[in-house]
Amino acid sequence: MKAYIRQSRKVIDPFDNFVCDCLIGNKTLATLQRETFLMLGIEPLFIATDQQVSDSSDYILTDDNVCFTKELLVEFLARSLQQKKNAICALKQGITTRRTMSCIQNVSSAEDFVKYNLRYVPEKKSRSGDCVPIVVDPDQFCGYIPVPEHICDNEKYLIPITEKFVIQIEHWANLWVANIVTVLAEVARLRKNSKVKLFLAALKARSLNKWNVLSKANKIGRNCDIHPTAYIEAVLLVQR
């Protein structure tokens, strides 16, 4: 199977970078897309327009500003293959769609879900009919952070801890959120690990606090200068 990625060449202000070159988790979005597809044995190809696609087999079609996890793609693709119809990826409305600011993304919102530019196109003989939304529920776990009462009525600001998300990078705020939820996805993966792995991670961190455990999962390259008061979790740091 192939994945066709439309190149928008959209520039994200104020960074003055093409969206595909923006960094998420210290990797460019183009690299993340490519690596995610390759992990599933899907060949990524960059195209300028839909007219360049002349594939009679089934394929995936997306844009160069769509950020998604492997876990999200696995579920979307598995359910799409069962349907064998034109399908579009959607997230169930909830904490994840609110916190990733879907309202400022160029997406199609319904009462119960949000549709993103990530599509499955079946083989040529099955392409007739409407595009079916494949709705993924991303709200696996939720954490919270204490905030002043004038910001949040119950003084608890809920945050999504999920390994299944998709975000369209239209604005610098979407890029900021994508970096945050990428870290939170590591927390979700950590929670799904076996008890033995969790015990070893907690032992290494000498703590049962998930943030302390994540801080020990950092990969820091040589000559990286980090302020001693900085808090970093589950990141890869290299000197450029």
Which residues have CB under 8 Å from 180's CB, separation 6+? none
pLDDT confidence of residue 104: 92
d(CA 240, CA 227): 17
Q: Is 87 helix (H, G, I), strand (E, B) or coil?
A: strand
> Does residue 49 or residue 219 have the better pLDDT?
49
82-96, 116-130, 192-206: the lowest-pLDDT one:
192-206
CA dist 33 → 21, 23, 183, 208 (Å): 11, 12, 17, 33
Enumerate the CATH 3.90.550.10 domain ranges in the chain, comma separated.
2-192
Q: How far apart are CA 133 and CA 119, in angstroms?
A: 9
| Closest residue by Cα to residue 122 from 88, 91, 156 | 88
* More confidently predicted of 212 and 120: 120
Burial 52-86 (b: 16+ CB within 10 A, else e): eeeeeebbbbbbbbbbbbbbbbebbbebbeeeebb
What percentage of the chain reaches a pLDDT higher than 90? Answer: 51
pLDDT at residue 221 above 70? Answer: no
Q: How far is CA 121 from CA 32, 60, 109, 128, in A?
A: 22, 6, 21, 10
Measured CA to CA in angstroms, residue 98 lies from 102, 177, 199 at distances of: 6, 11, 33
In this predicted structure, the answer to whether residue 178 has a pLDDT above a threshold of 90 is yes
Model confidence pLDDT, tens digit, residues 133-174? 999 999 988 877 777 777 776 667 888 889 999 999 999 999
pLDDT tens, position by position, 5-37: 999 888 998 988 999 999 998 899 999 999 999
The CATH architecture assigned to 2-192 reads Alpha-Beta Complex (3.90)
Phi-psi region of 61 (alpha: psi -120 to 50; beta: other; left: phi over 0): beta
pTM, to two decimals: 0.78
Residue with the bigger pLDDT between 95 and 215: it is 95
